[in-house]
């Protein structure tokens, strides 16, 4: 049982819908922040963002199996529900939804195919990922039925994909993006950062510096390929074991810009592995 200081912790879909219906009867607006737990300041910033647009906030904690594949860290993904509940209470969350068991019943047979912004970049290396994300986000939005939902810009491709899904499927929710929250050295906060030992953490801290240098060079020269090739070499020299991509894309469509900047806003996106931990990051390219 949660302590009296904790927000409500519920585990059943019926309880969830009952709470939301009671709030709506009182003309409350509902904000939603889905998470996989192991919360940090970045997650809490999503709660603060949601509170700017809604009077009641629901947060879910669910490690979604459909976005993992064999060899990824589903079984070892960090879990800290007691600490998470305390952090969410202090951040002003009103209800925590921790489903009891799987959200996929034994006869579950539905999947979602996603295109648009979901194509390329992450999909080239994790082809299963956005299908899994689309499915769980759709299921959770259908259960919570919020007015608004907040997702972090660290997962920029995911943010644009979720906007596409909710638009295409006529899900009546407004999707907000929240800025990336970073450690003192610029590393984007992530639940997986706790995997690092001291040496690997020092290497990981170079990612933001290399990314910012690359973005600045592209902004000043307008030339993409020389700057991204230099960034890949810099990451490998710094100690990253592999680099999946350093790419520039249109900030709204994620269409890859191979050579020069266009007239539209652009985004630099990076995925690289440091000591078996895969990191992603991105930033705006100023024009």
Task: Give the model's pLDDT for residue 2.
Answer: 44
- Average pLDDT across the chain, whole number: 94
The verdict on 239 and 168 lying in the same domain is no
CA dist 227 and 232 (Å) reads 9
Backbone angles phi, psi at 284, to 5 degrees: -70, 145
The C-alpha angle 66, 67, 71, rounded to 5 degrees, equals: 100
Examine the residue annotation and report whether 259 is marked as an active-site residue of this protein.
no
The answer to whether residues 224 and 230 touch, using CB atoms and an 8 Å cutoff, is no
23 and 137 belong to one structural domain: yes
Give the number of other CB atoms < 10 A from CB of residue 10: 20
Token pair in block for residue 61:
């904690």
Query: What kind and span of H or E run contains 280?
Result: strand 277-285
Residue 2 lies in a domain: no
In a domain, 184, yes or no: no
Q: Do 167 and 93 share a structural domain? A: yes
Helix runs in 39-148, H state only: 41-51, 81-91, 122-125, 129-144
Decide if 59 contacts 95 (C-beta within 8 A): yes
Spans in the chain with pLDDT lower than 70: 1-6, 70-71
- For residue 234, the enclosing domain spans 191-282
Is residue 185 situated within a structural domain? no
- The whole-number pLDDT of residue 262 equals 81
Residues 50-104: tens digit of each pLDDT: 999 999 999 999 988 888 886 677 787 888 888 999 999 999 999 999 999 899 9
The answer on 200 and 146 residing in a single domain is: no
Provide the pLDDT for residue 176: 98
> Are 220 and 166 within one domain?
no
Check 14, 19, 40, 43 and give the catalytic one.
43
Residues 27 and 167 in one domain: yes
Which pTM value belongs to this model? 0.94
Judge whether 242 lies within some domain: yes
Q: What angle do CA 106, 109, 115 make, to 5 degrees?
A: 140
Instruction: Kindly state whether residues 12 and 80 are assigned to the same domain.
Output: yes
- Residue 6 has a pLDDT of 56
Which pLDDT belongs to residue 287? 79
Domain C-terminal end among 156, 178, 200: 178
Cα separation, 141 vs 22, in Å, equals 17
Residue 237 CA: distances (Å) to CA of 101, 124, 130, 210? 44, 24, 31, 11
Q: Are residues 116 and 215 in the same domain?
A: no
208 and 265 share a domain?
yes
The number of distinct structural domains making up the chain is: 2
What distance in Å separates the CA atoms of residue 6 and residue 8, rounded to the nearest whole number? 6
Q: Which residues pair with 281 in a beta bridge?
A: 270
C-beta of residue 36 within 8 angstroms of C-beta of residue 62: yes
Please report, for the domain that includes residue 202, its CATH number. 3.30.1300.10
């Amino acid at each position: 049982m949660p302590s009296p200081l904790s927000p409500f912790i519920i585990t059943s879909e019926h309880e969830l819908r009952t709470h939301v219906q009671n709030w709506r009867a009182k003309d409350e607006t509902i904000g939603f922040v889905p998470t996989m737990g192991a919360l940090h300041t970045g997650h809490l910033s999503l709660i603060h963002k949601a509170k700017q647009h809604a009077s009641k906030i629901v947060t879910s904690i669910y490690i979604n199996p459909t976005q993992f594949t064999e060899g990824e860290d589903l079984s070892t993904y960090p879990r800290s529900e007691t600490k998470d509940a305390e952090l969410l209470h202090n951040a002003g969350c009103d209800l925590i939804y921790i489903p009891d068991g799987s959200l996929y019943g034994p006869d579950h047979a539905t999947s979602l195919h996603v295109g648009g912004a979901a194509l390329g970049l992450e999909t080239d290396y994790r082809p299963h990922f956005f299908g899994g994300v689309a499915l769980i986000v759709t299921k959770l939005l259908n259960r919570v039925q919020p007015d608004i939902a907040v997702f972090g810009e660290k997962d920029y491709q995911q943010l644009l994909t979720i906007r596409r899904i909710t638009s295409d499927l006529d899900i009546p929710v407004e999707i907000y993006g929240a800025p990336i929250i970073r450690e003192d050295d610029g590393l984007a906060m992530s639940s997986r950062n706790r995997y690092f030992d001291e040496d690997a953490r020092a290497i990981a801290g170079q990612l933001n510096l290399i990314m910012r240098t690359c973005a600045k060079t592209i902004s000043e020269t307008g030339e993409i390929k020389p700057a991204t090739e230099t960034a890949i070499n810099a990451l490998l020299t710094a100690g990253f074991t592999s680099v999946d991509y350093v790419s520039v894309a249109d900030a709204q469509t994620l269409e890859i810009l191979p050579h020069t900047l266009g007239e539209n806003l652009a985004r630099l996106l990076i995925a690289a592995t440091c000591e078996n931990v895969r990191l992603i990051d991105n930033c705006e390219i100023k024009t």
